[in-house]
Chains A and B, each alone.
Chain A
Amino acid sequence: NAGVTQTPKFRILKIGQSMTLQCTQDMNHNYMYWYRQDPGMGLKLIYYSVGAGITDKGEVPNGYNVSRSTTEDFPLRLELAAPSQTSVYFCASSYEGKLPTEAFFGQGTRLTVV
């Protein structure tokens, strides 16, 4: 199992450009999440999904969009990049059933908007 895989690892965007951060997991997890982490801070939830076709906003969703067409993939879209979106983005997944379990995180995408 590769776990949670994020691409790209690094990216520099110009203000106003758009891009998609890719996330895929091979553990057949039903739940997937996108977090962002600003320097020296904890992670903040952007969007999450409880299954294919179902997504919902987290704490900081403005400026982002997501989709979940398959169980494996959960891409994060930035439409009009702004300097405030400079951050490290982490994708995560978990299998949620009767009892709470652990979340697995990807290695992150480091995004700089200039």
Chain B
Amino acid sequence: DAKTTQPTSMDCAEGRAANLPCNHSTISGNEYVYWYRQIHSQGPQYIIHGLKNNETNEMASLIITEDRKSSTLILPHATLRDTAVYYCIVRLRNDYKLSFGAGTTVTVRA
């Protein structure tokens, strides 16, 4: 499986967009990019996933570069409740197991 690299931590101002980068330079053509988050040791929560096209849902947007070697998760209007650890995960289409790294600790400040 392709590995991912994320910054250890980042801060964001409340009400502003939070842009979370993820590098997955060894990703293969049939691997999807997934994002989950974990708020204060609760169970991880799914955010969004994509293959090669940009995706948007009610929580966030996922921007995948054309060469698919990196992606950015965008939280359009960060709130204090978005403070969490965000995990970028790459998984094969037919490999349902998720491999969690250390993630990015995002702190939203008032």
Question: Chain A: residues with CB nearer than 8 A to chain B?
Answer: 4, 31, 33, 35, 41-45, 48, 50, 58, 88, 90, 92, 94, 96, 99-100, 102-108
**Shortest distance between the CB of A74 and any CB in chain B (Å):** 14
A42 CB contact (under 8 Å) in B43, B49, B97, B102: B102
Quick check: A105 and B43 within 8 Å, CB to CB? yes
How far, in angstroms, from A94 to B46 measured CA to CA in the complex?
Answer: 11
**Shortest distance between the CB of B64 and any CB in chain A (Å):** 15
Q: B101 within 8 Å of A by Cβ?
A: yes
How far, in angstroms, from A105 to B41 measured CA to CA in the complex?
Answer: 12
The secondary structure that dominates the B interface is loop
Quick check: B49 and A100 within 8 Å, CB to CB? yes
How far, in angstroms, from A42 to B104 measured CA to CA in the complex?
Answer: 11
Quick check: A108 and B43 within 8 Å, CB to CB? yes
B-side interface residues, number (CB < 8 Å): 20
B100 CB contact (under 8 Å) in A43, A94, A99, A108: A43
**Shortest distance between the CB of B46 and any CB in chain A (Å):** 4
Q: List 16 A-B contacts (CB under 8 A).
A: A31-B96, A35-B100, A41-B102, A42-B102, A42-B103, A43-B98, A43-B100, A44-B100, A45-B99, A48-B96, A50-B96, A90-B43, A100-B49, A103-B96, A103-B98, A105-B45
B41 CB contact (under 8 Å) in A42, A88, A94: A88
Known pairs A45-B98, A58-B97; A90 contacts B91 (CB<8 A):
no
A108 CB contact (under 8 Å) in B42, B87, B93, B102: B42
Quick check: B43 and A107 within 8 Å, CB to CB? yes
Q: Chain B: which residue is nearest A95 at the CB level?
A: B96
CB neighbours (8 Å) of B21 from chain A are: none
How far, in angstroms, from A67 to B91 measured CA to CA in the complex?
Answer: 25
Known pairs A90-B43, A105-B44, A108-B42; A100 contacts B93 (CB<8 A):
yes
B32 CB contact (under 8 Å) in A45, A90, A100, A108: A100
